[in-house]
Amino acid sequence: MRVLIPSQLRSYTRGAAEIDAIGATLDELLVNIEREFKGFRFRIVDEQDRVRRHIKIFVNREAVRELAHPLAPSDEVQIVGALTGG
């Protein structure tokens, strides 16, 4: 499936704005991405296995928070990182 990567995480995907990955659930997708791009999953998921507060994930433009959310090969997953600072 197509996974869109925000600019602040592209250093983990060797600059790629978009990657192809597989997974039956959001968690499985992130684990599979981690195999190729070390350190990526930790930027998305915290130590309690929850999506970090500043990260938003959309599956087919619908907001998703649960790692158990089922995915289909035709889905598009977009990861968005909130901008912070002052």
The answer to pTM > 0.75 is: yes
Domains of the chain, earliest start first = 2-81 (3.10.20.30)
Q: How far is the C-alpha of 39 from the C-alpha of 64, rounded, in Å? A: 21
Q: How confident is the model at residue 71 (pLDDT cuts 50, 70, 90)?
A: very high
Cβ 37 vs Cβ 5: under 8 Å? no
Query: Residue 51's beta-bridge partner residues?
Result: 45
Dump pLDDT digits (tens) for 15-51: 999 999 999 999 999 999 999 999 999 999 999 999 9
